[in-house]
Structure 1
Amino acid sequence: MSGTAPGVDHDRIRRNLAAFPRRSAVAERSAAVAVCVLPSKTGPQVLMIKRAPRGRNAGQWALPGGRVEPGETLVETALRELAEETGVEAPASAVAGLLDDYVAGTGFVITPVVVLLDAPPARLERCRREVASLHRIPLARLCEDDLPRWRDMPDGGRLLQMPLRANMVVHAPTGALLWQFREVALLGRHTRVGDLDEPEFARV
């Protein structure tokens, strides 16, 4: 493995995020997502969703999140969307820090908010209107050597792929956010992902 995530040291993640010179971006449309780490008997996991087969980003793998509403902060948006989409209620004190803003092909600026839970959530309950299914991905998987995988593009660029498990390959923007979370929060590396290509289906 290129790194490990044993038990996950919350203080270390917070230190890594605090030491990271985060980049922000400005846009008319802003969104925030929660990179939510859950404890479990088999090791810490990050919570992901599969979008409902209709509406924006239909059927895509994603992190819980959505558009920033008027008067909300980025952290408030991430925590609200986490609760609405997955049933996980997290206090503001669970927020460990933010990663780089990612300017998506849709025009949204996406801000990843890292949320660390000290105990398993009281419930996981998807919003059936927006979420087809909930998924827990072991943090140890994010740190394995075969991630990320790259595919050459006709224009000379490289498409990032995160094959997290069978029948689950995650591309940018979500794949890029997960890779930066692994690199920065878990491994303490200052890795940028803003220039990564997105597949065409993620830009609509």
Structure 2
Amino acid sequence: MDIDLRDFERVAIPLDGRRAAAVAIVVSGADPAIWLTRRASGMRAHPGQFALPGGRLDAGEDAVAAALRELAEELGVTASRDECVGLLDDYPTRSGYVITPVVVRLGGTPRLRPNPAEVAHVDVIPVRDLAVEPRFLTIPESDRPVIQLPLVGHLVHAPTAAVLYQFREAALYGRTTRVAHLEQPVFAWR
């Protein structure tokens, strides 16, 4: 499966007082798989939640540089800008960030060295397993649908679920599906 999203026509969202962040959707191996982390319980923000390697942009960084830096910091994997195969739509979070998803394609399967201060667990998920049907819920706190993806025996919530849903739509089906309107569960608003 060849995953190249360089021609994906992404939607950028203005920061409007929010902070810029980036996540890495890393696709590795001959049978392509992605890496989904579980945040360490000692993390100040969103402990125990499913996440993609990522974080806020440092001064002078663009989204690609930040995603690659965070990938190295969180999982001990070094990748180059040449291995970036596309950017997906920005996703605005309730916690004050605009996340830019950076898709990285690695030819082999590097050894993961998770940083225990940031990562409690890493799931390796075959890309084909993203073909699950998402769940869309309504909540009294918002008129926007909350997305959940059933993966690895759990429900993954937005923002990670929204980003992975858009990746799935583009990579598996060649569809342009927008996700910025998808809501996060109330516990993620904190």
Matched letter for residue 59 of structure 1: G
Correspondence 1:171 to 2:151:
no
Aligned length: 186
Correspondence 1:9 to 2:2:
yes
Q: Distance in 2 between matches of 1:194 and 1:9?
A: 26
Tell me if structure 1 keeps the 8 A contact 2:23–2:52.
yes
Structure 1: 5+ residue stretches without partners:
1-7
Of residues 19, 28, 39, the one that matches 1:38 is 28
- In the TM superposition, residue 156 of structure 1 has moved relative to its aligned partner by 5.1
- In the TM superposition, residue 158 of structure 1 has moved relative to its aligned partner by 2.5
Give CA-to-partner distance per residue, 1:88-141, whole Å, 9 cap, x none.
Answer: 1111111001000001001100000000011111x2011111111111111111
Give CA-to-partner distance per residue, 1:26-51, whole Å, 9 cap, x none.
Answer: 224110000001115xx211011100
Correspondence 1:142 to 2:130:
yes
Structure 2: 5+ residue stretches without partners:
none
Structure-1-length-normalised TM-score: 0.86
Q: Distance in 2 between matches of 1:62 and 1:175?
A: 9
Q: Distance in 2 between matches of 1:67 and 1:114?
A: 16
Q: Distance in 1 between matches of 2:128 and 2:170?
A: 15
Which residue pairs with 1:83 in the alignment?
72
User: Higher strand proportion, which one?
Assistant: 2
Which residue pairs with 1:159 in the alignment?
146
Structure-2-length-normalised TM-score: 0.92
- In the TM superposition, residue 169 of structure 1 has moved relative to its aligned partner by 1.0
Which residue pairs with 2:120 in the alignment?
132
Decide which moves more: 52-61 or 104-113.
52-61
Give CA-to-partner distance per residue, 1:26-78, whole Å, 9 cap, x none.
Answer: 224110000001115xx211011100113111110000000100011110000
1:165–1:134 distance in 2 versus 1, CA, 3 Å: closer
Correspondence 1:201 to 2:149:
no
Correspondence 1:192 to 2:178:
yes
Q: What is the aligned-residue identity percentage?
A: 46
Over the residues paired in the alignment, what is the CA RMSD in angstroms? 1.4
Matched letter for residue 146 of structure 2: L
Matched letter for residue 45 of structure 1: A
Matched letter for residue 174 of structure 1: T
1:159–1:96 distance in 2 versus 1, CA, 3 Å: same
